[in-house]
Amino acid sequence: MSNILGLTILLETGPIERFASVGDYVSYCRCVDSRCDRNGVKKGENNRKNSNKYLAWAFVEAANYAARCHARARA
């Protein structure tokens, strides 16, 4: 299971240098909320489907696997 997740993350990410910052990468992976707030008022959804669904799946599965199988992640 972990080999498939690792390969999925590696191959779907591609060259990591193409992301200018960590924020760009986590946004591409759908690991952050895509809402746009200004002064506490919601302004839009900001292309919430404009990212990689396979990376989002892989990171969710990796987190679930870690929570099940590793004591430090469970803590």
Per residue in 35-62, pLDDT (tens digit) is: 666 676 666 665 566 788 899 899 999 9
Domain count, the chain: 1
pLDDT greater than 90 at residue 70: no
C-alpha 5 chain-centroid distance: 13
Residue 43 is predicted with a pLDDT of 64
pTM over 0.85: no
- Give me the domain span that covers residue 30: 2-74
Q: Is 42 helix (H, G, I), strand (E, B) or coil?
A: strand
| Token digits of residue 48 | 């919430």
Residues 60-74 have a mean pLDDT of 89
Task: Provide the percentage of residues in the chain whose pLDDT is more than 70.
Answer: 77
Q: Which residue has the tokens 């200018």?
A: 20
